[in-house]
């Protein structure tokens, strides 16, 4: 296992769109365990492969209090089931250190993904987990939490980051 280096905003590599995972082998297993190690070491609740400069559709998450419920989602996709159900949480991001901002997201989604063996799953997550999944899937699309902020705040963060 090894801890990976996390890219930080405004690194252009964070804007790459990740490709679907098609091979479920030992190297995928290694990558996800390194991602989990990195996430735990940095005290994050989620990490997308994009953030560690692997541009494949892989996210790891642990939203449990005791940090002992690791989740791995390969090729995750979601549909919004109800646009009359919203959450507005204060989000932070390992790629945008030192910044937390309130972001509004749909609470009621239908999620499909594959596990590390390629097996398909589906679920309707809610609450913190659904926020975290959407945040990480955004990374796979090259989208960052700063994109949800007003232009003023985004510029301030960019200025601080490039100092």
Partner 1 sequence: MRILFAGSPGSAAQILKNLATHECEIVGVISQPDKRSKRGGKNEPSAVSAEAIKLGIPLYNPKSIDEDFKETILQINYDFLVVSAYGKILPSWLLEHPLVAPINIHFSLLPKYRGASPIQSCLLNGDKKTGISIMKMTRGLDEGPVYSLHDHEISSLSNKIDLENELVALTNKILFKSLLAIFNSSQKPLEQDNDSATYCNKITKASGMVSFLEEEAEHIFRKFKALNGWPGLFFHRNGIDIKIHGMAVQAPQNGINISDNFTFSKDGIIIKTKDSSIVITHLQFPGKKIITASDAANSYADFFAN
**Residue 55 annotated as binding site:** no
Sole binder of partner 1 in the list 11, 29, 69, 102 (CB under 8 A): 102
Shortest Cβ 144–partner 1 spacing (Å):
13
Which of 136, 135, 113, 139 shows the shortest CA–CA distance to 124?
Answer: 113
Shortest Cβ 87–partner 1 spacing (Å):
4
How far does CA 111 lie from the centroid of its chain? Answer: 14
**Distance between CA 20 and CA 76 in Å, rounded?**
9
Binding to partner 1 by residue 81, rule CB under 8 A? no
**Is 29 annotated in the active site?**
no
Q: Which residues contact 46 (CB under 8 A, 6 or more apart)?
A: 39, 59, 60, 61, 62, 63, 132, 133, 135, 136
**Residue 139 annotated as binding site:** yes
Within 114-133, which residues bind partner 1 (CB under 8 A)?
A: 126-127
Q: Which residues are catalytic?
A: 136
For partner 1, the binding residues (CB under 8 A) are 80, 82-90, 101-102, 104, 106-108, 126-127, 148-155, 159
């Amino acid at each position: 296992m090894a801890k990976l280096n996390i890219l930080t905003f405004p690194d252009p590599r964070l804007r790459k769109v990740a490709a679907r995972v098609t091979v479920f082998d030992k190297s995928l297993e290694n990558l996800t365990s390194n991602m989990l190690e990195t996430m735990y070491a940095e005290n994050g609740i989620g990490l997308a492969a994009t953030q560690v400069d692997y541009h494949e559709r892989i996210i790891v998450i642990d939203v449990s209090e005791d940090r002992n419920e690791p989740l791995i989602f390969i090729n995750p996709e979601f549909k919004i089931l109800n646009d009359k159900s919203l959450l507005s949480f204060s989000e932070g991001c390992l790629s945008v250190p030192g910044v937390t901002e309130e972001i509004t997201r749909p609470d009621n989604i239908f999620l499909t993904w594959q596990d590390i063996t390629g097996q398909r799953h589906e679920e309707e997550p809610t609450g913190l987990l659904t926020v975290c999944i959407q945040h990480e899937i955004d990374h796979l699309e090259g989208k960052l939490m700063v994109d949800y902020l007003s232009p003023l705040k985004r510029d301030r963060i960019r200025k601080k980051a490039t100092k």
